Amino acid sequence: MTSNLYTITTTTTITTITNDTWQHGQEEENLEKAQIRQLMVVSYWILVPMLLVVGATLSGIGLYLLHRPRMQGLPITTYMKLLLSLDAGVMVVSVTTILTLNGCYIHSYAMAVFTHFFFTVYYTLQTFCHYVIVWVCYNRFLALWCFRRFQQSQKARVIRLRIIFTAVLCVLVNLRHLLDVQVVCVDNAGEVEVAANYAEGCEGGAWVILDSLHQSEMTELWQTAVWIVRGILVIVMPVFLVLVFNMFIVIGLMRRRLHNTASTSRTRDQAYSSIYISLAISFTSLISAMPTVVHALFFAKNIKYCQGPFNEEVFRAIAIFLLLGEHLTHILFLAINQTFRNELKTLLQAVKRSISTSLNCMTQTATPSHQTRPFTVTTHVNMNGSPQVPNLVVSAPEKMPDGGPLVEIAVPTQASLSAFIKNAGLRVSEQDPLRETNINKNETQHSARTSVMSVMSLEKERI
């Protein structure tokens, strides 16, 4: 009797411990799922959209500046146009990452197919970017070590053939990823496929994409061979070529070969800036792609129905941020080029003037009607440059208070300006000799032989 009681007590204790352990494991699993969900929301619904907006804006600005006339003659312009266009394309297709939380929350079978297609386009554009960087480094290598070959490679036909060949190669390399895919419906636990007929929907679970990179079992030798060839062409080959070309570029700089190929100081400066841009872009590309390569080689096998362990998901999010962040740096490295910097300064100054003009218009619109109307003072001079006493045309001169509104005057010489200020009782408050102005024909008596030389802001002196 005592033995039976002991056996029952022991069995009950083991069962209780087992249940407690199972419940504790379930709580930890639920906590990890909640953490992964929170990580995905912060990463793909907050941070990634910010990167996409900034990246698309910078790419648009860069493309606009590269189409300016002064930028057309630079040897690096064609490939940088292509690179920034690819950057913009990557930003556009990455919207799928936001809509589906990196492919982990899909609401329909059609959306799953749509998501997989755009993920494939994303991989293709990334591969294209890497090979464009290879061509940029190859051009700098030729410019240092084989200048005659470099000149031949700058022909439009050669560049066009390079781009077409690279585009076809990138599409073929990623075509297997596009076709080798399964869209399945799993239950809420993410373990059992609950729908074999996609017309029935997936009410009891969630749609999951099984592609050739994640969770696709390679049972045959040819499948493994295709996957290895793709890895070589997408990762190994671009990295190897970039490293080789950059090594010879650095050696060429150390041996001062650029002084033998660049004939003038201006062309030498342009060549130096092109070399620095290619080195910076290639180095950034290698650094940003490294976490993605590590994740694909060592952690992708741990992903089960889109998600892996929490720590690996953090690493995965960082890898995605770095890949997207790389596309933000291309326009920044373009600023190494002096001509590009000048064009950028011109654009920023134009934007600043536009904003200032808009604010002035808003201020004038908000000014009450009882305040003094502004007035203008204009002058005329003959084209032969002989100084004259300016002819005044003043709007509402009777409302001009002492020390009141500013006026604008255009004069040919400093002597005529001094005479006018003395006779009219005005004083100079601000001078802007670079400003352009148009004389209103309704307010100004003028002839065909007049010229506006400079603009002054004046105030009536206090008596």
DSSP state of 200: G
Q: CA–CA separation, 174 vs 156, rounded Å?
A: 27
**What string of pLDDT tens digits covers the 463 residues of the chain?**
545 544 444 445 555 544 555 455 566 677 888 888 899 999 999 999 999 999 999 999 999 999 988 888 777 889 999 999 999 999 999 999 999 988 888 888 889 889 999 999 999 999 999 999 999 999 999 988 988 898 888 898 999 999 999 999 999 999 988 888 888 888 765 566 665 556 567 777 788 888 876 555 666 777 778 888 888 999 899 999 999 999 999 999 888 777 666 556 777 788 888 899 999 999 999 999 999 888 888 887 777 767 788 898 999 999 999 999 999 999 999 988 888 999 999 999 999 998 988 888 888 776 554 444 444 444 444 434 444 444 443 334 444 444 444 444 555 555 555 655 555 555 444 444 444 344 443 333 333 333 333 334 444 433 3
| H or E segment and range at residue 277 | helix 265-294
The count of residues in the chain is: 463
Distance CA 29, CA 13 (A): 24
Residue 448 token pair:
């065909």
Q: What is the identity of the amino acid at 23?
A: Q
Residue 284 CB-density burial (10 A; 0-12 exposed, 13-18 middle, 19+ buried)? buried
188 sits in which H/E element: none
Longest dimension (CA), the chain: 132
DSSP tag of 75:
T
For the chain, give every residue range classified as CATH 1.20.1070.10: 35-350
| CATH class name, domain 35-350 | mainly alpha
